[in-house]
Amino acid sequence: MFNKRLIVLLSSGALLLAACTANNSEEPISEKLTTKKENVVVHELPVVELSPDEEERYISFTKDLNLEHLEGLEPKSVAKMYVQAVLDKNYDVQYALYTDREEAVQWSKEEDQSIPETHRGTNEQNRKLFNNIGKGEFIQTSDYEGYIKYNSGEGINGFQMIKNEDGIWQVAFTPIQ
């Protein structure tokens, strides 16, 4: 019996203390106890995760679009940078990552700039399309061509890469096979 009274007394005291504390704050207690949906932040997992070296090179590349920043990178690293540019909606960087090998160029930068936003895909569509590309396997098919085979979760895709005349891997125009 004594234990029940002690529990009731302690519970009542805790409630009274909470009410007093709530009354001294700027927010009403009902606001403190209610979770607001609009304040919930959903953290999406990245489609690609750039290594520190890739991230440093990507940032440098976005500043001046100099292909020297890509020297020595593996095809998957360049592909991940391309996906990052797509998700960032940084179309100048995206275009600069396309191959400059003359026989493989399919449209000019001016033509690329005229592509409407609605034809570039939403971030959700691009996330699905490029999901797991960094976990793919690069398969070289010639001295200067190859593709990344990866499972996006929606099926097996191939992402075509072309090495330029200077030995730097770049993204093929219309890379998805």
Would the pLDDT of 121 be above 70?
A: yes
In a domain, 159, yes or no: yes
In a domain, 77, yes or no: yes
Please, what is the end-to-end C-alpha distance for the chain in angstroms? 76
Q: What is the pLDDT of residues 9-67, one digit of tens each?
A: 333 343 333 344 344 444 443 333 333 344 444 435 567 899 999 999 999 999 999 99
Do the Cβ atoms of 136 and 159 come closer than 8 Å?
yes
User: What domain count does the chain have?
Assistant: 1
Would the pLDDT of 4 be above 80?
A: no
pLDDT of residue 20: 40
Q: 52-64 and 75-88 helices cross at what angle (nearest 10)?
A: 60
Would the pLDDT of 157 be above 60?
A: yes
In a domain, 22, yes or no: no
Would the pLDDT of 146 be above 80?
A: yes
Instruction: Tell me the C-alpha distance between 124 and 103, whole Å.
Output: 32
pLDDT: is 154 or 21 the higher one? 154
Count Cα neighbours of 130 within 13 Å in the Cβ-side half-sphere. 25
Do the Cβ atoms of 83 and 130 come closer than 8 Å?
yes
Helix (H) or strand (E) holding 33: helix 29-33
In a domain, 39, yes or no: no
Would the pLDDT of 127 be above 60?
A: yes
Distances (CA, A) of 134 to 24, 81, 90: 53, 10, 20
State the average pLDDT over residues 103-109: 97
Helix (H) or strand (E) holding 68: none
In which domain, by residue range, is 91 found?
Answer: 52-176
Distances (CA, A) of 82 to 68, 111, 143: 16, 18, 22
Would the pLDDT of 116 be above 70?
A: yes
